[in-house]
Amino acid sequence: MVVEIISVGTELLMGNIVNTNAQHIAQKLAHMGLDAYYQTVVGDNPERLRAALDVAYTRGDCVITTGGLGPTKDDLTKEMLISYFGCTPVEDEEALRRLEERAKKRGVPLSESMRKQATVPSGAVVLQNDHGTAPGVIIEKDGRVCIMLPGPPKEMKPMFETACDVFLRKQSNKAFVSMNIKLYSMAEQGFPVGEAQVADRLGALVDGENPTVATYAKEDGCLVRVTAAAKTADEARTLLAPTLAAAKAAIGEEHIRYVEED
């Protein structure tokens, strides 16, 4: 399965907040062995979101959206996607119960704007929100999948794990394991740890396809990531081990600060 991430929110587009949601989701997808080749940020505009979806579904079969599920007028993701997939809007009883209970605890009536969060597409899997108000949903229709998640990271992250348990992990037939080799930044160690120099030492290892070896420049030195894919995480670790050992030998153990699994 090829997954595309669409982050919805004018505040993201304008650079007012950092898009940590896309980073988190991309890392998790990689660990599950699900391919993700593109990420898009779109403002709170239904037509531009529709256009982004049209493009995304030419490149993959699953889209994960974050943001636009709340009670305000600019939270239009769910409404637009109900229209996009030709679904009927229905009220989810459990989501409504949670909203009513929350309003009661606060001693206020449930407003219509808050109540709209309980509206979901007919036939969708509803992901209840244990850390906020807006539920997420999973739509499967005509060979396309859309997973809608809320924007606040404290709500998105646990709900994404629910989506993984309910749907995403079942779509992958492989597991990825990565080991990070962190190098010292001290040139006095006798080994300048710029990315190019490290890549030169690794030689042909960086050309491997499985496991792969990649170098990353960091402010405090350089990181080498060795990644293997297999049917299970244990098999991936076994496959990875010889390449990891070869990379450490090529770099030189004396230049390595630590090695840890990602």
Closest C-alpha among 231, 97, 254 to residue 181: 254
Q: Tell me what percent of the chain is helix, strand and coil, each rounded to the nearest 5.
A: 45, 25, 30
Whether residue 160 is found in the same domain as residue 254: no
pLDDT tens track for 171-205: 888 888 899 999 886 554 555 557 888 899 999 99
DSSP 129: -
Q: Are residues 37 and 128 in the same domain?
A: yes
Say how many C-beta atoms besides its own lie within 10 A of residue 54's C-beta: 10
Q: Which of 153, 171, 189 is the last residue of a domain?
A: 171
Beta bridge partners of 228: 177
Mean pLDDT over each residue of the chain, to the nearest integer:
91
Mark which of 118, 153, 171 sits at the end of a domain.
171
Domain that holds residue 118: 3-171
Contact yes or no for 57/84 (Cβ under 8 A): no
**How much is the pLDDT for 191?**
55
Q: How confident is the model at residue 206 (pLDDT cuts 50, 70, 90)?
A: very high
- Say which residues have a Cβ less than 8 Å from residue 207's Cβ, sequence separation at least 6: none
Structural domains counted in the chain? 2
Residue range 54-81, pLDDT digits in tens: 999 999 999 999 999 988 887 889 999 9
pTM of the predicted structure, to 2 decimals: 0.78
Residues 208 and 251 reside in one and the same domain: yes
Distance in Å from the first CA to the final CA of the chain: 22
Mean local confidence (pLDDT), 2-31: 93
CATH classification of the domain holding 156: 3.40.980.10
Residues 127 and 203 in one domain: no
Distance (Å, rounded) from C-alpha 65 to C-alpha 21? 10
User: Does 128 lie in the same domain as 84?
Assistant: yes
For residues 91 and 129, membership in a common domain is answered with: yes
- Examine the fold and report which residue of 171, 194, 222 is the final residue of a domain before the chain moves on: 171
The CATH number linked to 256 is 3.30.70.2860
List, for residues 89-144, the tens digit of each pLDDT value: 999 999 999 999 999 999 999 999 999 999 999 999 999 999 999 999 999 999 99
Kindly state whether residues 23 and 125 are assigned to the same domain.
Answer: yes
Take residue 103 and report the two structure tokens written for it: 């309003």
- What is the percent of the chain where pLDDT is above 70? 97
Pairing between strand 144-149 and 62-66? parallel
Pair 116, 21 in one domain: yes
Same-domain pairing of 53 and 115: yes
Query: Is the bond leading into 211 cis (omega within 30 degrees of zero)?
Result: yes
Residues 162 and 201 in one domain: no
Give me the torsion for CA of 18, 20, 22, 26, rounded to 10°.
Answer: 140
Alpha carbon 31 to its chain's center: 10
Lowest mean pLDDT among 70-74, 89-93, 161-165, 210-214: 70-74
Residues 145, 236, single domain; the answer is no
In the structure encoding, which two tokens stand for residue 55, read together?
């493009």
Q: Are residues 235 and 128 in the same domain?
A: no
